[in-house]
Each structure stands twice: as structure tokens, then as C-alpha cells.
Amino acid sequence: MTSFDDLLSGRPLVAILRGVPVARALELARAVWDSGLGVVEVPVQTAEAVEVLRELAGHGHPVGAGTVRTPEQVTVAAEAGAVFTVAPGFAAEVARASHDAGLPHLPGVATATDVHHALTAGCAWLKAFPAGSLGPGWLREMRGPFPEARFVATGGVGAHNARAYLDAGAAALGVGGAVTRPGGLAELLEVLRDG
């Protein structure tokens, strides 16, 4: 099983392509892959999104499935070629299904209890969500009792605040809207290159 340590080593960006048509998704994914700074996540809430995931996974780069909330979605994601799963919250059955499928799982966490449960379930990398509401200070506070946790700050993150989250201890950033808007990906990649 590939690990997030392998997937995100030297790649501080998880580009979230939610609701993006195949052609645009491929254009954005290629820019992320070519930069060497990130991986791509496709939330699999619709049949169309699963097809976008399948298309991107066929290009030889790691692509994950996002908004995976059920074990059934894990199966769909694995069959479409995902190499990791991401969820908005922590559900033990989803983490277990992902691990059983050989896919590392990135569960969403927002409290110390969430972090504890996710770590206990074998998830060392955690999605701090919604990061925009939690703030960079949340990451600093969680690093104290949970030094082994690796956080991916997600939700409300863009070029304007990426450095603050990384400086606070985020191992990576999950970025959606700021990546898909015109010019947003280039701005974010510039910040990440300069960091």
C-alpha cells in the first residue's frame, strides 16, 4: 500500500477538483503534476465525478477519491483507480474499508477527539477541516498532544493564507476553489515554490 508519506513527500498540495469537467480537470491535473508540488483529489459524489477520477487515474500519476463517506464509495473509488481516499469526517468503517482495499485514508478532523479516534484507527495523516474556520492556531495546538499526526489543512485555504498554515505545522494543503478558479492554481504554485 502506498502511504501518504510517499505520496506527499515534497508535494505540499492536494488539488481538489470538485465538479470540474474532464477536459478542465485534466488541464489542472497536468499543471499540478508538472509542477512536482502536488497530487490530485476528485470528490466522488456523482457518477460524472467517478468518470473524471477514472480518466485522470489513467495518466500514470497518483489520484485520490474525495468525499468518501461509505465503504461502498471506497469500492467505487478503488475500481476507478484511486490510490488514496479522503473524507470530510472520521468514520471507522470507511477507514477500515480503505485500509482493506490497500488505500491510505485521510479522514477529516476538527476536534482533539476526532484526532484521537483517527490516530487509533491507524490514520497518521489527517485532514484538518474546515481549516478556514479552525485557523492556523488550531494546528499549533493539536501538534502538542498529537506530535505524530500529520495534518493536511483543507477548506478555505488558498494563496492568500497557504504560508500561514504551513508555518503553523500543516504537512500539506488541500485546496479546491482556489485551485479551480481562473489563475488560482498558478498563484498557489508560486507561493509553494517560494516557500
Active site residues: 41, 127
Q: How many residues in the chain?
A: 195
If we measure between CA atoms, which residue out of 182, 145, 179, 177 comes closest to residue 39? 179
Question: CA-CA distance, 173 to 158, in Å (whole number)?
Answer: 9
Residues 106, 84: contact at Cβ < 8 Å? yes
CB-side neighbour CA atoms (13 Å) of 114? 18
Q: Which helix (H) or strand (E) holds 168?
A: none
